[in-house]
Structure 1
Amino acid sequence: MNAHIGPLRGLLDGPFYFMRHGESETNAAALIAGLTDTPLTALGHRQAAAAAEELRAVPLASVVVTGLYRTHQTAMPILRMKGLAPFVEPGLNERDWGVLEGRPLSERPSTFFDPPEAELWEDFNRRIWRAAQGLAVPAPTLVVGHAGTFRALLHGMGYGRVRPRLPNARPVLLSPLDPPPPAGEPAWRVEDLDGQPVPIKAVEA
């Protein structure tokens, strides 16, 4: 595999693709898994293979994964198809949910809740945005991350606290608006590969 193709570009300096990992064992069991390094299910592997086919026509020059195995497994069919090696960025890891790690999702009152021993939402949000700002990779690039990673990226892009609908292994395109919008409005658009906007729902602070 090639390490990468082409010159480096800041991730946030232009459009990039994002995809949540395929279904993990904790997803299937409706359990909370932030830093718990859970693998994909059989369905998750099929989702990853299907996503690779969706991205076949996209001339990806790089693929970024987090430090967690489920993103590596999800990226593997794409990496093989494109002849690439992944860029690993642990700074984009999912949030550490502290005492809620491995507990049922029903015990988490909100995705922005700060349970004991957890990484605080505001700290997590800053970590993700710093990692994204510091990442330089060949473009076009695909980031394979987590639901929390995506929420934090959208927060940094001006959406505030939101709950986007992002199923497992569904690639989307994030593009900066040009010209930039007025202050206080989202500075990026989010759309499916077919150009349809991705629903993004605001939540109460």
Structure 2
Amino acid sequence: MRDIIFLVADGEMQATVEGFFDNEAFDQRLQCARFEFDTKQDLIKHPRKDPGVYNEGHHFLKSYLETHRYAVLMVDFDFNDNLDVMDYERFCDDIKAKMRSVGWPDERFFVMAINPELEVLMWQSDTRRIEHIFDYKGQPGGLRSWLQERNLWDEGLSKPQDPKAAIDKVRGQSWGRKKTHSQIFKRIAKEVSFRGCEDESFNGLLQQIQAWYPQEWA
């Protein structure tokens, strides 16, 4: 039996998961015991993106009950105006109920509902860790100050108030070779420390993987 099957909503999430495991020291970074991961066997991108994961993810994963020990569903909460019309906890509970309905017990799956969307994971209060990925060689105050000057990062916040708009603004600059969102996410996931991440859904996933694969001490 294989280890974890990941069901993701789009190419950016796919690249992020690939980035985690492209790092040879992924087990040290995740602070867990080492396990096997193969993009061809353990990673699925839903063709209908976030609505597909939310509405049909359980059907996609039913056939993996016998092939994988665990399952992770990754979905952005902010689709179809969910921020305005749906409670976040109810959103997560709906997916969990659907997973149970096809036979996945609670202890074998995790719902990573990113609130509001994937870009929130890319930003940390100390932007020096990611500036090389954007080829930023600007002012001493760093990329954070650059964004604050353009009203894209309120001074009192630990990350931009609109993480997606901030990434789009940076991508629009003529700093080095232009990169796709997926390329940026993959490099950040592979190269940047997770220690500064304050996102509840991502930290929840780390804790779940650590529980599934606890570190072994000699």
Under a length normalisation based on structure 1, what TM-score does the superposition of the two structures give? 0.29
| Larger Cα-atom Rg | 2
Query: Which of the pair is proportionally richer in strand?
Result: 1
